[in-house]
Every structure is written in C-alpha cells, then in structure tokens.
Structure 1
Amino acid sequence: MDYNVLSDTAILQKLGEFVKHHRMNQQKSQDQLATEAGMSRSTLSLLERGEKVNLITLIQVLRVLNQLHWLESFEVKQEISPMDYIKLQKKHERQRIRNVNMAAENPPSEW
C-alpha cells in the first residue's frame, strides 16, 4: 500500500485497525488493554477508531501489545560515504613492523 497517497485521517484509521487487530489476536478486551497501557478505555477506543490521540498513547499501546518493533523503521542509520570508507581502509591497513632491536645492533655503515 502506498501510504503517500492516503490522507492523514486514512493513516490514523489504518493505525487504529492495526491496534484493534493485534488486541483481538491477543484476546484482550479494550478494558484490559487500556488498563495495562495506563489509559482510559475511551482513549483506546479513540485510537482504534482512527481519531486523533497523543503519540505517547500509541507507544503505550504498542508496548503492551509487544509491537514496538514496528518503530525500527524510524531508526536513523549512520551511513558512510565511499570516500570516507576508503580513508578508513587505508588507516587500518597493516603496516610493516620494524624490529627496533635489529636496527640498534646493525647501525648503518658510514662510508
């Protein structure tokens, strides 16, 4: 589904359907879920109907339904440019190790 073409109201309704679906799959009543999430049943009802609610309300409900993994898509991942990657590779290349003791035993000739 292309969420870009949906109105804000339609997206709220999809979120409400998602919450209701998972609540019913877990065989919880609105009262049970609302109590576990620390809110009133009427607030949960608003969410399930696709009405405007606070974002914290959605987070609390998702937590109780064990559905917070859906928020992973909001994670900002650090990306590295190809040039920075090459610089890092050069920095970590193996360098030749000099034997300090051999250099002291065999000083350079002076001719």
Structure 2
Amino acid sequence: MNWYSLSDLAILRELGSSLRQMRVNRNQSQQSVADSAGIDRATLSQVEHGRPTSLLTFIQLLRTLEHLELLEPLVTKAEVNPVTLARLTQKQRRNAYPTAPDSTTPPPAEW
C-alpha cells in the first residue's frame, strides 16, 4: 500500500479497519476489548471507523490486542556512520606524552 498517496483521514480509516480485523480475529466483542483497554465502547467504535483518536488510546488498543510489536518500526536508534566512527577513533589520544616546558614562562623563583 502506498501510504503517501492516502490522505490522513484515509490512513486513519485503514488503521481503524486493521484494529477491527485484529479484534474480530481474536473473536472479541467491542465491549470486551474496550473494557480491557480502559476506554469506552463508543470510543473503540469511533477508532474502528477511522475517527481521530489519541496516540495513548491507540497504544492501549494495541496492548489489549497483543500487537505492540507493530510499534517497533517506529522506534529509531541512534546509529553512528562507520566513516564518522573511524574519524572519531583517529582523533582520540592513544598515549600520554610528557609536556615540554614552555619557553615563554619564566623559571620558578627560588626562595
């Protein structure tokens, strides 16, 4: 499916339809899923018909339907580009060298 060709409301309808299918596949009523998710049955009906909802409600429904793994592609992990990593590794000091005395500073005064 080309998600970019769909309007935002069409995407909501697709997601709602998918949630409905998940619920039906589990042979659960709207009332039982709504109760388990902690939402009103009317709210679930609206979600299944593609009405806008909160992200929290969507997550509650995915949890109740045991499909939280569908969120995995949404989570990105910071990755370091291998070239950048090599450059950072090269810049790190590997050895400690004694510092040479600075010729511009006068020698310490003797007491």
Question: What interval of TM-score do these two structures reach, taking the shorter chain for normalisation?
Answer: 0.7 to 0.9
Q: Which residue of 2 aligns with 1:38?
A: 38
Aligned mates of 1:53, 1:78 — CA distance in 2? 29
The equivalences for 1:69-108 within 5 A come to 69-87=69-87
More helix by share: 1
Q: Which residue of 1 aligns with 2:68?
A: 68
TM-score by length of 1: 0.75
The one-letter amino acid paired with 1:2 is N
Q: Which residue of 1 aligns with 2:107?
A: none
Aligned residues: 94
Aligned mates of 1:69, 1:88 — CA distance in 2? 35
Unaligned regions of 5+ residues in structure 2, if any? 92-111
C-alpha RMSD over aligned residues:
2.1
Q: Which has the larger displacement, 48-57 or 73-82? A: 73-82
Task: Measure how far apart 1:52 and its partner are.
Answer: 1.1
Aligned mates of 2:85, 2:9 — CA distance in 1? 43
Aligned mates of 1:2, 1:67 — CA distance in 2? 22
Identity %: 41
Q: Which residue of 2 aligns with 1:105?
A: none
